[in-house]
Amino acid sequence: PQTDIVFLKVHKSASSTVMNILFRFGETHNLTFAFPLGGGFQLYYPHHFMARFVQGFSPKSPQRFNILCHHMRFLQPEVQKVVPRSAVFFSILRNPVQLMESSFMYYKGASAFSRVRSLEEFLSQPYLYYDPAKGDSNYAKNLMTFDFGFNPNAEVSAERVQLMVKAIEASFDFLLISEYFDESMVLLKEMLCWDLDSVVSFPLNTRDSSTKSSLSDSVVEKIKEWNRLDWEIYTHFNRTFWERIDRDIGRERMERDVRALRERQAELARTCLQGTGSVAPKDIKDSSLRPLQHGGARILGYNLKQGLDKETEHMCRRLVTPELQYSSALYKKQFPPVPH
């Protein structure tokens, strides 16, 4: 199994769920994580990543970390300083239409969105509200382009799109697609030589459907136009995702593995969870399992069954622990606080 991994955690693309998978794998196999300095939760995002943002990195003794997966703005030469040469690089993309709708709800406080009532209003005259010079403008336009390290305000030309796609292909071994999450997990397992149980997950950092809005066709077109670079990246890698599956796995085996994955997840849900699945934040009884609430979104979480044996409880708890709590716990384990 591959233990050296770089995951570019693209915002609002099921990336918290992937991060939980990496956290559990790393914890099980005693791997080291490239944590943000001081145990923060982002690697000085939205700045381009620098090796010195990582706790315990020093250019004099370049210690290599196994897993780099916290939010960052990608910059390959700096990333390569903190992970072994053999590291596998991957990321996950999401349809820019849903991504923008999600970003709008989640980052409602961002300068570009705070003065409008709806996404329609924003898109009717975006430059009235969007200022590329603002420090949080990245959430409002071509968010994936930005996270991959490129300029989200560049003009769209065939040449530029070609260059971005080629650069991403040169840096990353494969890209997953969040709309096909289960297929993505099967591909991930294949690419990393992991077993099925390592890629099992429950959806984390998901929104209550009451805060999701359906979009008219004209708004969908405006979103694609406004996020043209993201759209070009997404359509390209959505195509190559299926080409890779056909080449390396085949549709039949993919269907078989997806079925097995879903059965295993259903079995774990029956073992671990109270009720049928995720619940509203106010209904989460154990406060340590309550996810961070953000913007206008209601982020769902889980309740564990009572009376589980110790080992099962531990396994179940790790599956439903929100990203910030899990990250903090792993950080304390890797860098135990010095007693005064």
Q: What structural domains does the chain harbor?
A: 5-326 (3.40.50)
Query: CA of 211: how far to CAs of 224, 276, 301, in Å?
Result: 21, 20, 15
Under DSSP, is residue 48 helix (H, G, I), strand (E, B) or coil? strand
| 106: CB partners within 8 A, 6+ apart | 12, 207, 294, 295, 296, 297
Look up residue 66 and give its DSSP letter. Answer: S
pLDDT of the residue at 134: 96
Q: What is Dmax (Cα atoms) for the chain?
A: 61
pLDDT digits (tens, 9 = 90+) for 189-236: 999 999 999 999 999 888 887 778 789 999 999 999 999 999 999 999
Quote the CA–CA distance of 138 and 46 in Å, as a whole number: 8
Q: Write down the pLDDT at residue 297.
A: 84
Provide the pLDDT for residue 212.
80
How many CB atoms are closer than 10 A to CB 137? Answer: 18
Residue 157 confidence (pLDDT)? 97
pLDDT number for residue 300: 92
CA angle 60, 65, 70 (to 5 degrees): 115
Cβ atoms of 10 and 72 within 8 Å: the answer is: no
Q: What is the pLDDT of residue 151?
A: 98
Sheet holding 67-68, edge to edge: 67-68, 5-8, 88-93, 174-177
Residue pair 324/294 in contact by the 8 Å Cβ criterion? no
H-helix or E-strand containing 231?
helix 228-248
Chunked mean pLDDT (size 10), the chain, 340 residues: 97 94 98 96 97 95 92 98 97 97 94 96 97 97 98 97 98 98 98 97 87 90 98 98 97 98 97 91 93 88 96 97 96 92
Which strand (E) or helix (H) includes residue 317? Answer: helix 310-320
pLDDT tens digits for range 262-277: 999 999 999 999 987 8
DSSP E strands, 142-238:
174-177
Would you mind telling me the total number of residues written for the chain in this entry? 340
- Measured CA to CA, the distance from residue 141 to residue 130 in angstroms comes to 9
Closest CA to 156 of 218, 93, 235, 94: 235
What is the pLDDT at residue 103?
Answer: 96
Q: Which stretches does DSSP call E strand in 126-267?
A: 174-177
